[in-house]
Structure 1
Amino acid sequence: MLKKTTLAVIGLAASGFAFAGTMGPVCTPGNVTVPCAANLWDLGIQALYLQTIYGGAKERAAINQFNHVENDWNWGFRAEGSYHYNTGSDISVNWTHYSSDTGQAGFIGLIPVAPFISPFTQANQNRLDQINVVAGQHVDVGLVKKMRFYGGMQYANIQTEVTNYYPSAFIPPLAQRSPISLFDNSDFKGFGPVLGIDYSYNVTPAFSVTANGATSILYGTSRYDAGYVAENVALVLSSTYNAKKIVVPAFEAKLGLNYAYTMPQGVMNFEGGYQVINYFHALKTQPLQNPLQPILSTDYGLYGPYFGFKYLGNA
């Protein structure tokens, strides 16, 4: 009897130990694959509706308050083309262009002659041209997630031109009165590596959520040129110039939706979303446009919606 009881206890303990050590269902990760070998091409165009924003140093003295210039929303575009080869590899070129003109009034600032403080109106122009040449690799993560990793080179040309128009003032060197204007210009041209990733999640076979993130490091020249001019005789009353080689980090982010319409000879993709672009410390400025202030670095950024289409066809 004792032997039977002992064997029963040992058997129960062994079965309990075996149960405690048993693992649950084993999760199998999704497969990461590349597309089958194919030769394809695509062409696309996007309309951009963006607004420019500068860093905090680029301020203006407004009547009764300190304020920065609110640039107008304006249209730009992004054109792109790619050649796809092998198993998901591609070479891609894209060009982003944006420009905006803004006119504002209600500001007050300094002038180099009496009365030294004067109201003014302002014309503000800015422009961005960005060109990327990159190589990419497409991968499928499971059935609904797709990713594209890419890297290459980026060129950026940023220009801002600001002109203040002041009422007529007495100019001692001329012994007469003349309207005064202030030119306040800064630009950056740089070139460097860019890395990024495109991501899409298929909600249905035709409809997907898309995201993009990219970063670049550009080396180039940032210039600043400012001065006061007596308009009647184009006499420069004072001027400041600065040029410096700098390294500018930049980033770009997008979040959007894509609809793919399959056609007999290819696929037409309709896409739209929201994007942000920022170049850190790319431009130069003097706070409140005061020639006695030090020259500081300031950011240049763009943000707003985009929409467009891209056609993918067989080579």
Structure 2
Amino acid sequence: MRKIALSILALSSSLGFAGTMGPVCNPDNVTVPCPSTAWDLGVQALYLKPTYSGNQYQYNFLGYSTSGDSIHFNKRNDDWNWAFRLEGSYHFGTGADINVNWVHFDHEFTTPGISYVSLISGNTLNFAYDKIALHWNAVNAEFGQHANFGIFKDIRFHAGVQYTYLKRGNFAPLSIFNPNTGITTPTYNRFNQKFSGAGPRLGMDLIYNFTNAFAVYGKFAGALIIGDSETNDTSGVPPVSYASTLEVIPELEAKLGLTYTHNLSRGTLIADAGYMVVNYFSVFDLPQLTSSATNLAFQGPYAGLKWIGNLA
């Protein structure tokens, strides 16, 4: 009986040991920076490429060529171009800030002339050239709160409002040759599309500090822009059409980058470089029932400098 009791105790002891929790890691403390007052100014150069999705032929191609049963679409010239971003912030309290930033993109793209036979009408279309003018302005005003998650990890939560202005103009002079009548008609294509509005915006900046100087970050934000969408087709070939509607456009943006911080005798200088993507969903539409709305995105690398000056 005594042997049985000892065996049960030994088994219980071994089971209890096997079920005991291993080493427990203490979570990082969540803190906020010490009270301070400062302001900053920053500028960035952006090298961006606009892309369209949702209505591929209308926005990305101009005409086509045929070879047997194959069709090759001629891509419009909408290559990379420069833009800039300006920002200013006021820092106060325990990690709070008010930030205003402005992104500006303004460029014209010209595609050389092309001639092709329309597969629909059978007419020959001779384009002299095709010019696209694209304008983008985005202004964000946001309130942010910085929090420290341990020694290396920081998060900045922010909420505010975004104002967006997007305009796309297309002009293309051409002549249309009708093989049935032998008549050539000079005309032109002219479309103007515009969206402007404002709406709430939320986001967060995730930062990991490798050292006191180097850090890597991922920044994410989203907005719902409420505004007026206009489309005006005044091409030389009827029908001429115009449409204006009130729409809610979702916007998403993401950035991945690296910063280097250098302390100066007066303030702090931060060098910043990364890659960004901004997408506006279904922002441009055409009044024709056969044409679907298209998304407009801007993507590309950027680099810039920011100077932070302490007020106290």
TM-score interval (norm. to shorter):
0.7 to 0.9
Q: Distance in 2 between matches of 1:304 and 1:262?
A: 29
* Closer, same or farther: CA 214–108 of 1 in aligned 2, 3 Å: farther
- Counterpart code for 1:181: Y
List aligned pairs for 1:25-36, cutoff 5 A. Answer: 25-36=23-34
* Closer, same or farther: CA 295–62 of 1 in aligned 2, 3 Å: closer
- Counterpart code for 2:190: F
Q: Distance in 1 between matches of 2:232 and 2:292?
A: 13
Cα offsets for 1:160-213 (capped at 9, x unmatched): 01101114889xxxxx98742221111100110000111111122201111111
The range that moved more, 212-221 or 238-247, is 238-247
Q: Distance in 2 between matches of 1:117 and 1:299?
A: 31
The offset of 1:262, in angstroms, is 1.1
Residue of structure 2 aligned with 1:152, choices 147, 157, 160: 160
Q: Distance in 2 between matches of 1:150 and 1:243?
A: 33
List aligned pairs for 1:267-282, cutoff 5 A. Answer: 267-282=268-283
Superposition TM-score, scaled by structure 1 size: 0.86
List aligned pairs for 1:1-315, cutoff 5 A. Answer: 3=2, 5=3, 8-57=6-55, 58-59=58-59, 60-64=61-65, 65-108=72-115, 117-120=124-127, 121-167=129-175, 179-229=186-236, 238-285=239-286, 294-315=290-311
Q: CA RMSD in A?
A: 2.5
Secondary structure of 1:36's counterpart equals coil
Q: Distance in 2 between matches of 1:156 and 1:89?
A: 25
Q: Distance in 2 between matches of 1:293 and 1:69?
A: 23
The offset of 1:56, in angstroms, is 3.7
Aligned length: 295
The offset of 1:66, in angstroms, is 3.0
Q: Distance in 1 between matches of 2:281 and 2:8?
A: 71
Superposition TM-score, scaled by structure 2 size: 0.87
* Closer, same or farther: CA 254–104 of 1 in aligned 2, 3 Å: same
Q: Distance in 2 between matches of 1:204 and 1:137?
A: 22
Q: Distance in 2 between matches of 1:182 and 1:20?
A: 79
- Counterpart code for 1:278: N
* Closer, same or farther: CA 67–245 of 1 in aligned 2, 3 Å: farther
The offset of 1:237, in angstroms, is 5.6
* Closer, same or farther: CA 283–108 of 1 in aligned 2, 3 Å: farther
Contact 1:61/1:108, CA 8 A, preserved across alignment: no
The offset of 1:109, in angstroms, is 7.5
- Any stretches of 5+ residues in structure 1 without a counterpart? 171-175, 230-235, 287-291
